[in-house]
Amino acid sequence: MAFSETQVRVRYAETDQMGVVYYANYFVWFEVGRVEYLRARGISYRDMEKDDDCKIAVVDARCRYKAPARYDDLITIRTRVSRQRGALVHFAYEAVRAEDGLLLAEGETVHVCIDSQFQACPLPEKYQVLSEETA
Amino acid sequence: MAFSETQVRVRYAETDQMGVVYYANYFVWFEVGRVEYLRARGISYRDMEKDDDCKIAVVDARCRYKAPARYDDLITIRTRVSRQRGALVHFAYEAVRAEDGLLLAEGETVHVCIDSQFQACPLPEKYQVLSEETA
Amino acid sequence: MAFSETQVRVRYAETDQMGVVYYANYFVWFEVGRVEYLRARGISYRDMEKDDDCKIAVVDARCRYKAPARYDDLITIRTRVSRQRGALVHFAYEAVRAEDGLLLAEGETVHVCIDSQFQACPLPEKYQVLSEETA
Amino acid sequence: MAFSETQVRVRYAETDQMGVVYYANYFVWFEVGRVEYLRARGISYRDMEKDDDCKIAVVDARCRYKAPARYDDLITIRTRVSRQRGALVHFAYEAVRAEDGLLLAEGETVHVCIDSQFQACPLPEKYQVLSEETA
């Protein structure tokens, strides 16, 4: 199954007083992973919102934390579409420490395509690449 | 099963360009819920870290989004301990719009007690109230 | 000069690995201060955006840090309008540790009223209370 | 005067319901600028904290906003040290839209070197490169 990789470097702002990355921030990185996954397939999520009246709202998000990410670590985010049907898209992620490949966290998010009225709608035809990759 | 309630008001900083609360911020609210749950039982999480060398690290976090929270909404966070044994504590949450009781999101987090060396350790005796509430 | 007070409790998410509140978060608290200042004068900033096509965009923001805020501290945010003329509103803030009144930070922000086209516009008549308070 | 450049791409998390980047987030980008400025001069801020017991705490921060940054924009952060003497370091920043060079914001931060006891201390000898650049 095809996946994309992108990297983020841990910002001081993302740490907490435990000296590790605060848990909610992994979901921000997953968002970065999603957008870069789409970009690698020629899809600009910005244009998708603006030109196609199609937003991808989150309905479920999960993360399992394996090892702490620390300040200034370079993190590889691996993203793939694990399932796509109708209005629903499932993404899966891994956050890996770039230096040594240590798995830091795994996660999934489920999204529903909505229009500007916040109504569910099928993923526009031109984005069918997302479903093909899960075949 | 006993639960606690606390309220947060949606900050502008917590919204995104979809005009709703960004999904990662619910996990910040869950943290607020946990801390207030403990405080309502006479436990200061700050002192727990400082005086008892016991931190509660997250190993799993999940949220299911039912309806969008919006800027300036007053949100009730309902928190309970759903399970406690050994080093592990499970919390469950509901985020509800205070105005009309609409359920916005449900979530769970699983935590492991660790000492300052990041080693798992049983929940100190004095915090056993957490396990009794799940009985 | 009239001012408003509101309180925030420091969230774990707002700390960094120095064990204190990350500097950018004071600007989020200042936003909370502004909104509560307005609410205390019968003005809902949410409605101002929705019903009056008037947003208050930031053009200048400053904070001087006097002492660190720490996790779980209760912080009083004191907010006042220091100047209002035409499209411009100046706010001034103090962040004070509630427990002992220690001044943690002082700040100012300057805002310009804009309409939905991002064009500067005078503050609507009904919000003139803001200029009167600086007289 | 020597400066460094680094780039950030605007995350969805960083936007607000006005459809632009929330004002506090520029200070997070300035932090990224500082760290990359140091890295370009062979200084790891992470090691500076760990090995040299030297933290750079913020005492003053300011940002003037010229034009809004928007979702998915690629932003160039230009950072330089504008002054260094004793325990104090002044940084200056520009945030520029990479696509067309439009100036989005300008800012300054002032920092004081502190040790692990939060006491001001002179910048360690080995970091004197910071003062030389302002000569």
- Can you spell out the DSSP letters for B2-71? --EEEEEE--GGGB-TTSSB-TTHHHHHHHHHHHHHHHHTT--HHHHHHHS--EEEEEEEEEEE-S---T
B13, B31, B35: residue with CB nearest C28: B13
Please write the tens of the pLDDT for every residue from A28-77.
999 999 999 999 999 999 999 999 999 999 999 999 999 999 999 999 99
Instruction: Please list the residues that pair with B60 across neighbouring strands.
Output: A64, B110
Q: Which two tokens stand for residue C19?
A: 């064990």
Of the candidates C24, C21, C109, the residue with the CA atom closest to the CA atom of residue C67: C21
Of the candidates A24, A43, A64, the residue with the CA atom closest to the CA atom of residue A129: A43
Q: How confident is the model at residue B128 (pLDDT cuts 50, 70, 90)?
A: confident
Q: How far is B42 from chain C (nearest CA, A)?
A: 14
- Residue by residue, pLDDT tens for chain D (135 residues) are 689 999 999 999 999 999 999 999 999 999 999 999 999 999 999 999 999 999 999 999 999 999 999 999 999 999 999 999 889 999 999 999 999 999 999 999 999 999 988 899 998 888 877 877 775
- Can you spell out the DSSP letters for B114-133? E-TTS-B-PPPGGGTHHHHT
Q: Which chain C residues are within 8 Å of B46, Cβ to Cβ?
A: 71-72
pTM: 0.96
Q: Which chain D residues are within 8 Å of A45, Cβ to Cβ?
A: 72
Contact (CB<8Å) A71/C19 = no
Contact (CB<8Å) D27/C28 = no
Is B76's pLDDT higher than 90?
A: yes
CA separation for the pair D51, D33 (Å, rounded): 22
Check residue A135 and give its pLDDT. 59
Q: How far is B61 from chain A (nearest CA, A)?
A: 5
Please write the tens of the pLDDT for every residue from B14-54.
999 999 999 999 999 999 999 999 999 999 999 999 999 99
Please write the tens of the pLDDT for every residue from C71-86.
999 999 999 999 998 8
Is C131's pLDDT higher than 80?
A: no
Q: Which chain C residues are within 8 Å of A22, Cβ to Cβ?
A: 12-13
Q: Which two tokens stand for residue A99?
A: 């230096």
Q: How confident is the model at residue C69 (pLDDT cuts 50, 70, 90)?
A: very high
Which residue among the candidates C16, C47, C72, C115 is catalytic per the annotation? Answer: C16
Q: How far is C2 from chain B (nearest CA, A)?
A: 23
C55, C61, C68: residue with CB nearest D63: C61
Is B1's pLDDT higher than 80?
A: no
Check residue A1 and give its pLDDT. 62
Instruction: Give percent above pLDDT 70 in chain A.
Output: 99
B29: closest chain C residue by CA: C11
B–D: how many Cβ contacts below 8 A? 28
Check residue D1 and give its pLDDT. 62
Q: Which chain A residues are within 8 Å of D72, Cβ to Cβ?
A: 35, 44-46
Contact (CB<8Å) B23/A27 = yes
Check residue B134 and give its pLDDT. 73
Q: How far is B72 from chain D (nearest CA, A)?
A: 12
Is B111's pLDDT higher than 70?
A: yes
Question: Within 13 Å of residue D1, how many CA atoms lie on the same side as its CB?
Answer: 17
- A→B interface, C-beta within 8 Å: 18, 23-25, 27-28, 31, 55, 57-65, 68, 118
Which chains does D contact via 3+ CB–CB distances below 8 A? A, B, C
Q: How confident is the model at residue C113 (pLDDT cuts 50, 70, 90)?
A: very high
CB within 8 A of A8, min separation 6: which ones? A29, A32, A74, A75, A77
A17, A24, A71: residue with CB nearest C15: A17
Q: Is B60 a catalytic residue?
A: no
Is A79's pLDDT higher than 80?
A: yes
Mutate to test the interface with C, among A14, A16, A21, A25 (most CBs of C within 10 A): A16
Q: Which chain D residues are within 8 Å of A13, Cβ to Cβ?
A: 28, 31
Check residue C135 and give its pLDDT. 59
